[in-house]
């Protein structure tokens, strides 16, 4: 079991629940937000160890959320992973420039998701 907390940000309730179930089964504590603004509100109240965000959301997309996170001293080095249906190199490049640490394409295999998250959390980025 792990005591790490992950914030899952996605405008799809189905996707939030699906990702949450995978993470909770592995022992992660999961917080959910349905967009960028609610995610920032969560982060002001409660620290997290990793943020997993969708890229395409309205009104604040995953890129803007990541840029905003990187401006907060407490989240300057917290891992951010983008999980998106977009798989273009341009999107991945933009995510990297915004400060994301990784990109996974939807649909993602549970083991791939857990491997990426596990490696980022054990790298001590926080």
pLDDT score, position 119: 93
pLDDT score, position 90: 83
Rounded mean pLDDT of 44-61?
Answer: 94
Residues 1, 23: contact at Cβ < 8 Å?
Answer: no
Residue 89 has pLDDT above 90, yes or no: no
| Predicted confidence band of residue 6 (pLDDT cuts 50, 70, 90) | very high
pLDDT above 70 covers a percentage of the chain that reads 96
Structural domains for the chain = 5-118 (3.40.50.2300)
Whether the pTM exceeds 0.95: the reply is: no
């Amino acid at each position: 079991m792990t005591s790490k907390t992950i914030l899952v940000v996605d405008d799809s309730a189905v996707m939030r629940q699906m990702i949450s179930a995978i993470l909770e089964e592995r022992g992660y504590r999961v917080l959910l937000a349905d967009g960028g603004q609610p995610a920032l509100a969560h982060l002001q109240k409660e620290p997290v160890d990793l943020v997993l965000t969708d890229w395409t959301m309205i009104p604040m997309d995953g890129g803007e959320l990541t840029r905003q996170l990187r401006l907060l001293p407490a989240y300057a080095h917290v891992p951010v992973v983008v999980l998106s249906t977009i798989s273009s190199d341009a999107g991945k490049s933009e995510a990297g420039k915004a400060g994301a640490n990784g990109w996974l394409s939807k649909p993602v295999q549970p083991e791939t998701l857990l491997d990426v998250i596990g490696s980022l959390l054990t790298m001590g980025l926080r």
